[in-house]
Structure formats: structure tokens, C-alpha cells
Amino acid sequence: MTDTPSPTTSDERDEFALSCHDLKKSFQGVMAVSGATFEVPRGMITALIGPNGAGKTTVVNILSGMMRSDSGRMMVDSTDVTNWESYKIARLGLMRTFQLSRELGGLTVLENLLVAPQHQSGESLFNIFFRPGRTKREELANAQRALEILNTYGLYELRDSRARELSGGQKKLLEIARGIMAAPKILLLDEPMAGVNPALIDRIGGYILDLKAQGMTILMVEHNLNVVEKICDHVIVLAEGRTLATGRLSDLRANAEVVQAYLGEVISAGPAH
């Protein structure tokens, strides 16, 4: 089990885009998260893995401001955002997707992206009436960028379709595309590969690697250890709501506690060929 880390220095904060210390969360007396402590390296892809019930999604909900922790501390860059509301955390550049896609079903695929950018001029009545030119230029720029993102993610031909009409895999792509439209610095992906076919898994993995190449920091909850092995630089293992170990998956395969806690027969077997 990992030791409790000492307080981070300013240089270490520069190294990590996201960190949490001793997060705790219980539901009706049952501890879902019981002291999770870890850092997410800047500009890398980090996997958050663990058995069912380990507290992974609860941690992501806390990190994104969707849920308040009972105790503990969370930092985005050098800002303490402990128990901030989600929209305030989003303003710092942290966005997330969901395990079960939450598309705006009544809107078109294109419209789902157009609602994503923050601080749009059209959100202000003053700008609508007194700065219509500025608002129109921004809307056109957003529309062009949205179409480019949809083209990148293979959704361009579906731009005028209602989001609820998409397949499960297409909804996963739409969620990622909508997150990118918000121009995040940090992207939290909650099981982006769940329920999609192997070909799409490879595509999504490629998209995530592209985001890393663009300088984005990514934290992803993932059960597919082959994907973790292929694309993730860093792995955090949760068990019973605690941080059990961190490192590269290839190194964690030799960790007896990890093997015992998390699908030992899988994690110790190595990647599939």
C-alpha cells in the first residue's frame, strides 16, 4: 500500500495538473471513498483502475464537482478547489464525460457541441442587443470549430441528427467531442471504452493519444487493461476506496496487493496478443 505523501512543493504542483489528498465519502454510513490520495501528471494519460465498488466513479464525481466529499482536499493546478461547484471547476479547464452517456437527446449532434463553449457572448442580453456583430462572429467561429471536431470524430455526416438517435458508440464519441469543444486543460473520461465494439475501442484510443499530443492531461476510469497497457503513461489503483498503488501497469503486475485486489488472473497475465 502506498504511503501517505508529504505536502507538495511548488515545483511538484507544476508537475501535476490534478491532485487529491485523503478524499473520503460515505453513503448512509457505508464508505465509498476512504482516503484516496494521488496525483495526475500534467500532459499525460493516467488510468484510474480497480475492482467494481472500488470508488472510481465516486472519485471522478468528486473531482469534477458533481459530488461533495466528506473530507479531504483537491487541487487543480495550484488552486484548491475542494468542494467547489462543478461550473467553477469547469472554468479552470477541467471537463468530464460520463460512464452512461448524457447527450442532450432533443438537440442535434451539432447543437450538442455548440452549447459546450464557456462564456459565450450570446449568453448576455446586453451583447445580443448592443453587440450583435460580435455575437454573430463568435457563433460562426464556434460552428466552424464544432464541424471540424465532428469531422475528426467521424460524426460530421450525423451533424443534423438528433443526439438520441445515435448508437451507443456514437454517443460515446459525441460526449468526448463535446468535452473537447469546451477547450479543456484536463479531461476526465469515465469508462470511455465501455460497451463499444473493438474497432471503436481502437479509434477512441487513438483519439485520446492525439489529445495527449496536443498537451491535454487525461484521467480515465477504465476496465480494459489492454487499453491501459497500450495508451496510459501512469496508473492509479483503487481498492475499497483507498489508493492501493500507483505506477506503470507493467510494474504493478508484480505488486502482490494489486494482483490480489484487482482481477489478479488478468492483471498478472500480461496484454493479450
Q: Is 208 exposed, middle or buried (0-12, 13-18, 19+ CB in 10 A)?
A: buried
Q: What is the pLDDT of residue 123?
A: 57
Instruction: Output 249-257 pairs: Cβ under 8 A, ≥24 positions apart.
Output: 249/47, 249/225, 257/1
pTM above 0.75, yes or no: yes
Please report, for the chain, the start and end positions of each structural domain, with discontinuous segments joined by +.
10-103+183-267, 106-165
In 3-state terms, what secondary structure has residue 37?
strand
Q: What is the pLDDT of residue 265?
A: 44
Q: Which three cell numbers stand for residue 104?
A: 442532450
Q: Which residues pair with 221 in a beta bridge?
A: 48, 190
In 3-state terms, what secondary structure has residue 187?
strand
Judge contact between 60 and 38, C-beta under 8 A.
no
Answer CATH for 10-103+183-267 from 3.40.50.300, 3.30.350.10, 3.40.50.720, 1.10.1740.10: 3.40.50.300
Q: Which three cell numbers stand for residue 68?
A: 461533495
Rounded Cα distance between 218 and 182, Å, is: 14
Q: What is the pLDDT of residue 197?
A: 87
* C-alpha count within 13 angstroms, C-beta hemisphere, residue 170: 19
Q: What is the pLDDT of residue 78?
A: 86
Judge contact between 174 and 205, C-beta under 8 A.
no
Give mean pLDDT in consecutive 10-residue pieces for the chain, a chain of 273 residues. 44 78 91 92 94 89 93 93 93 89 88 81 56 71 92 95 93 93 93 88 94 95 90 92 87 80 52 45
Q: Phi-psi bin for 151: left (phi > 0), alpha (psi -120 to 50), beta?
A: alpha
How many Cβ atoms sit within 10 Å of the Cβ of residue 6? 7
Q: What is the pLDDT of residue 139?
A: 78
